[in-house]
Amino acid sequence: MTVTYSTRTKTLLASALAATLLAGGPAAAFAAAPADAPAAVPIAAPIAAPATAAAKEIAASEYAAFLKDKFGITLSAGMNRGEFFLDLARAAQLAPAEDAVAFKDLPATSPYYDAARALYQTGVLATDTVNAPNALIAVNAVQAAVRAAGLKELAYTYPKAKAEAAVAKLPIRAASLDAKTVQELAAAIDTGLLPAAYYGQLKPGAAVSADLANVLIGKVLVFKGQFKHYIGYVSDSDIYAQLSDAYAESKIIQDEELQKIVDAALEKGLVTGYNLKDSRFEPNFVESLTLVYGHSDLNHALQLIGLLRGEGIDAKVQFEPKTSAFVYLKEWGEPGVSEQYEVKQIANGNYIEYAKEYDIAFEFATAADKDRFNGIIGAYAKKNEENQAGLIAGSWWQPLYYSLTPLADYNEITNNKIQLGRYYAQSFSLKEQSKAVVDGFKQVDPNVKVETYNFWTDVPFYNYLNGESK
User: Is-contact 359 401, C-beta < 8 A?
Assistant: no
pLDDT of residue 55: 53
> Does the structure show a pLDDT above 90 at 246?
yes
Whole-number CA gyration radius for the chain = 26
Segment 174-201 shows an average pLDDT of: 97
* Tally of CA atoms within 13 A in the half-sphere of 116 that contains its CB: 27
Which pTM value belongs to this model? 0.86
Lowest mean pLDDT among 29-33, 73-77, 446-450: 29-33
The rounded distance, in Å, linking the Cα atoms of 329 and 325 is 13
The model's confidence at residue 469, banded by pLDDT at 50, 70 and 90, is confident
pLDDT of residue 312: 97
Helix/strand/coil for 195: coil
The rounded distance, in Å, linking the Cα atoms of 115 and 154 is 25
2 vs 146, higher pLDDT:
146
User: Is-contact 360 304, C-beta < 8 A?
Assistant: yes
The rounded distance, in Å, linking the Cα atoms of 427 and 431 is 12
The β-bridge relationship of strands 351-364 and 400-403 is unpaired
Lowest mean pLDDT among 177-181, 187-191, 331-335, 366-370: 331-335
Segment 407-434 shows an average pLDDT of: 96
User: Among candidates 11, 2, 29, which has minimal Cα distance to 131?
Assistant: 29
pLDDT of residue 9: 40
Q: List helix spans (H) across 224-363.
A: 239-249, 256-267, 298-310
> Does the structure show a pLDDT above 70 at 305?
yes
400 vs 50, higher pLDDT:
400
pLDDT digits (tens, 9 = 90+) for 89-138: 999 999 999 999 999 999 999 999 999 999 999 999 999 999 999 999 99
pLDDT digits (tens, 9 = 90+) for 25-62: 333 333 222 333 333 333 333 333 334 344 578 999 99
DSSP 45: -
pLDDT of residue 202: 98
Segment 409-428 shows an average pLDDT of: 97
31 vs 336, higher pLDDT:
336
**Over the chain, what is the mean pLDDT?**
89
